[in-house]
Structure 1
Amino acid sequence: MNRMMRGQIGPRFLVYILGLLIMSLGIVLLIVANLGATPWDVLHVGLYYQLGLTIGSWSIIVGIVILIVSSLISKEFPKTGAYINMILIGVFIDLYLLLPFMQTPDHLFGKILMFAAGVIIYCYGMGIYISARFGTGPRDSLMMALTMKTGWKVGPVRSCMEIIVLIIGWQLGGPVFWGTIALSLSIGPIVGFALPQCQALTDRFLAHLKKEKVFIAH
């Protein structure tokens, strides 16, 4: 086991779950705001419109397909964190969507506020779950597998993935609007700003727990 993780699996897992909960809330706010969702959620919503089930179910099903493709490309099984990420985000999305107050605002101003809150919450949730260093999700696993296979840089690979998924989701009737473009332009910079903050906060939290453990042991 990695020395960094030794003795801190529990706390790191709690941070990981918290991050997934927050990120899933951001995803749902973006979907409910109805101003455009992330490319992957455009696909999930489009599949929901065409085939039924739930948005969270399609998030999990698409995740399973992605992990299979990633395994075939990289010739190795994804890490445990990818499976946890896939299942929990799908479950959390459906649970949030069941909340009675999770409704699209009647006015544009309310939609914009919900959308903006969704972007911030989504990015900081991502920063928190990544800061736990407990593994990434299926989409990131596929991105890394394609990067190793093609020799391309991460940026072009991720962009191609997002464009292809967005086109498929749009053809299925998923929610593509100006917010989708805004998301594509803003998520990277916001995550780049949020991740160092989340990492510093998580590291401080884990260091504090470690000091308390040492103090109790003495």
Structure 2
Amino acid sequence: MFFVGGLILLALGIALTIKGKDLGISPWDVFHYGLFLHFGLTIGLWSILAGLTIVLVTSVFTRTFPQIGTFLNMILVGLFIDFFNWLLPNIELFWLEVIVFILGILISAYGVGIYVAPNLGAGPRDSVMLLINKATGWKVSRVRNGIECVVCLAGFLLGGPVGIGTILVVLFMGNIVGYAIPHSKQLLDFVIRRGDRDENLNQRTLRLNHHD
């Protein structure tokens, strides 16, 4: 539940930034949006197809089968991006776009933190980042920034929206995710402890009722 909830929040955050696209959107979403403009389909479906390509490539190079969480991440995020893009209204006022965009960044970051907390598998894009890091020894931050620059440039050439918001995502998303992950793990631990406590109380009640 925690994992899927995090993916839903991540998709909602991405959809909100897309609704505020006049400010620019995140590098990967610039790429997906550019593919959507040129070839049709939907932004969410291009997110799934790009993720599937990355999963296949990393699987070949690492000779390993991805965790189930990687597939769920790839499919559910894409589906929910399209759902929220359909559900949320288009925004005409610039000041409202700014609010929605900032809200989208925060929700996306905590969505990442919540889906990462159960440790059920990284998303496709995080997997290729870790693969390059392991193969080259370069810092994760450098690898991440390099990948995002390449896909952002490709998306820009395809007509995707690049702006100050894109720069904000690159500069601050990682830091916000850094805060979100430990908070999410603490919340998950609390939920698990609460569940264990409630289960123990229920078992005691059942035993008492049985003796009676």
- Does the alignment reach a TM-score above 0.5? yes
2:207 aligned residue: none
Mapped partners of 1:76, 1:133: distance in 2 = 17
Contact 1:73 1:149 in 2 (8 A): no
Which amino acid counterpart does residue 122 of structure 2 have in structure 1? Answer: T
Q: Which runs of 5+ in 2 are unaligned?
A: 205-212
Offset of residue 214 of structure 1: 2.6
Mapped partners of 1:193, 1:152: distance in 2 = 23
2:70 aligned residue: 82
Secondary structure of 1:132's match? coil
Contact 2:2 2:118 in 1 (8 A): yes
Mapped partners of 1:216, 1:135: distance in 2 = 32
Counterparts of 1:5-84 in structure 2, within 5 Å, are: 14-34=1-21, 35-84=23-72
Mapped partners of 1:80, 1:142: distance in 2 = 16
Greater gyration radius = 2
Contact 1:78 1:141 in 2 (8 A): no
Offset of residue 74 of structure 1: 1.5
Offset of residue 132 of structure 1: 2.1
Mapped partners of 1:161, 1:73: distance in 2 = 17
Offset of residue 153 of structure 1: 2.2
Cα RMSD over matched residues?
1.2
Q: What is the aligned counterpart of 2:109 among 123, 129, 134?
A: 123
Q: What is the aligned counterpart of 2:147 among 127, 141, 161?
A: 161
- Count of residues in correspondence between the two structures: 203
2:203 aligned residue: 217
Contact 2:145 2:170 in 1 (8 A): no
1:8 aligned residue: none
Q: What is the aligned counterpart of 2:163 among 169, 177, 181?
A: 177
Which amino acid counterpart does residue 70 of structure 1 have in structure 2? Answer: T
Offset of residue 197 of structure 1: 1.4
Deviations 1:114-162 (A, max 9, x none): 1111111111111111112221110011111111222222121111111
Mapped partners of 2:197, 2:124: distance in 1 = 34
What percentage of aligned pairs have identical amino acids?
Answer: 40
Contact 1:56 1:91 in 2 (8 A): yes
Secondary structure of 1:141's match? helix
Mapped partners of 1:213, 1:98: distance in 2 = 40
Offset of residue 73 of structure 1: 2.0
> Which TM-score applies when normalising by structure 1?
0.89
Contact 2:17 2:104 in 1 (8 A): yes
Mapped partners of 2:168, 2:199: distance in 1 = 45
- Choose between structure 1 and 2: higher helix proportion: 2
Contact 2:59 2:65 in 1 (8 A): yes
Q: Report whether the alignment pairs 1:204 with 2:190.
A: yes
4+ residue segments displaced more than 3 Å: none
Q: What is the aligned counterpart of 2:172 among 173, 180, 186?
A: 186
Mapped partners of 1:187, 1:76: distance in 2 = 29
Deviations 1:40-66 (A, max 9, x none): 110100000000001010000000000
Contact 1:74 1:149 in 2 (8 A): no
